[in-house]
Amino acid sequence: MGSKVLLVGKAFKKLFPEVESVFDGLEVDVCSEEELLNYLPSTEVMVIGPMKVDEALLNKAPNLKFIHQWGVGVEKIDLTACAERGVKVCNVPAKGTGNAEGVGELAIMHMLLLARRWNRTQENLRKKRLYAPRGVALWKKTVTVIGLGNVGQCVIQRVKGFGMNVIGVNRSFRPEFDSLMLDEFCLLKDLHRVLPRSNFIVLALELNKETMNIVDESFFDAVSEGTYLINVARAELVKRSALEKALEGGKLAGIGLDVFWDEPADPEDLLLADPRVLVTPHIGGVTDEAVKGVANFIADNIRRFYGGEELKSLLTRGNEN
């Protein structure tokens, strides 16, 4: 049992009929992670969602030459082990494929629902109460976007339309940031300088050793009371104990999370019961346009692979022989 091109994950079994035509001309099969061992021996190209790829798996895939991540994040892929075995690895750029655009829209949704106190509006509907609650306008407020990669740029392009003042934070300044029309730029190392002036804070930062738990006790000490925090990046950017302490102390007016420390989130988790916390199940890039955009990008890259052409968004060179 096997296939030259293998899509791995239960989600692909539901998704594949929708995108099957994109892969016309390619020998494609779909399996769950539990079924993967049956397919590995004859697989040349593997398309995966969030899935651990380590030496143990690679050793069971003697014909594997190319791994394509469905999306951006490759934290679970051992890139060094892949390169040593001549396996090329690519991901999908967030911007221009619908992924970053969808995440940017979701960040706006979180901001609006929290600022307009969505939970309370639903209570008031049931109570037949009009003209309440009073919300917080995005207009004239200051939003600090931390991380100016593809997602951060998409967030900024959208909040500008709401008439917000925008502070962009990044590890370094790049000339492309000029087109964002920022009201202010701040280096990541100076982040705490702008936090007191931020009504909304959006995390769009890459997760690595330096940024893990960057949102800690000192971060919350610096923010002003009544701040809204939105995380559409990675849960581990935020130190959970510090977040809970900030909530208990009333420092934050609301929190929007599209990422969680344990996914899927436990329905009994107390954070989900807090009316100041809005959690969505990691759906930022899950839109009709993103599905089409990502599928087309991957199918084109696979054809490039078999045609001996240069691959797009290549992370490891693999075996050039």
How remote is the C-alpha of 80 from its chain's centroid? 23
Pairing mode, if any, of strands 45-48 and 142-146? unpaired
Place of tokens 């390619």: 26
- Is a pLDDT exceeding 60 seen at residue 14? yes
pTM of the model: 0.86
pLDDT band (50, 70, 90) for residue 3: low
Residue 72: predicted pLDDT: 85
Of the chain, the percentage scoring pLDDT greater than 90 comes to 88
CATH architecture observed for domain 99-279? 3-Layer(aba) Sandwich (3.40)
Residue 75 pLDDT: 84
| pLDDT > 70? residue 167 | yes
d(C-alpha 150, C-alpha 93), whole Å: 8
Mean pLDDT, range 120-136, rounded to an integer = 96
Chain-wide mean pLDDT for the chain? 94
What is the C-alpha separation between 52 and 54, in angstroms, rounded?
A: 6
Quick one: pLDDT at residue 320? 42
Segments of the chain assigned E as strands: 5-8, 28-31, 45-48, 66-69, 88-90, 142-146, 165-170, 184-187, 200-203, 227-231, 252-257, 277-279, 314-316
Domain limits, CATH 3.40.50.720, in the chain: 5-93+287-316, 99-279
Residues with a known catalytic role: 234, 263, 282
- 213-267 per-position pLDDT tens digit: 999 999 999 999 999 999 999 999 999 999 999 999 999 999 999 999 999 999 9
SS (H, E, C) 237-294: HECHHHHHHHHHCCCEEEEEECCCCCCCCCCCCHHHHCCCEEECCCCCCCCHHHHHHH
Pairwise CA distance, residues 142 & 319, whole Å: 49
Burial of 158 (0-12, 13-18, 19+ CB in 10 A): middle
Among 120, 107, 102, which Cα is nearest to 229's? 107
| pLDDT of res. 318 | 47
Give the distance, in angstroms, between the CA of residue 312 and the centroid of all CA atoms in the same chain.
20
Long-range contacts at 64-68 (CB < 8 A, ≥ 24 apart): 64/40, 65/305, 65/318, 65/319, 66/90, 66/302, 66/305, 66/318, 68/92, 68/298, 68/301, 68/302
Under a CB-based contact definition with an 8 Å cutoff, are residues 313 and 73 in contact?
A: no
Instruction: For the chain, give the longest Cα–Cα distance.
Output: 71
CA separation, residue 79 to residues 53, 57, 240 (Å): 9, 13, 29
Ranges 66-75, 83-92, 198-207: which has the least confidence? 66-75
Residue 71, pLDDT score: 87
Poorest-pLDDT segment among 5-9, 72-76, 140-144, 282-286: 72-76
317: pLDDT confidence band, cut at 50, 70 and 90? low
**pLDDT at residue 316 above 90?**
no
CB < 8 Å & 24+ apart, contacts of 261-267: 261/235, 261/236, 263/235
Residue 56 has pLDDT above 70, yes or no: yes
Percent of the chain exceeding pLDDT 70 equals 98
- Quote the distance between the C-alpha of residue 189 and its chain's center: 23
State the burial class of residue 222 (Cβ atoms within 10 Å of its Cβ: 0-12, 13-18, 19+).
middle
What residues are paired with 89 via a beta bridge? 67, 316
Among 8-17, 299-308, 310-319, name the one with the lowest average pLDDT.
310-319
Does the pLDDT at position 2 exceed 70?
no
**Whole-angstrom Cα distance, residue 210 to residue 262?**
21
CATH class of 5-93+287-316: alpha beta
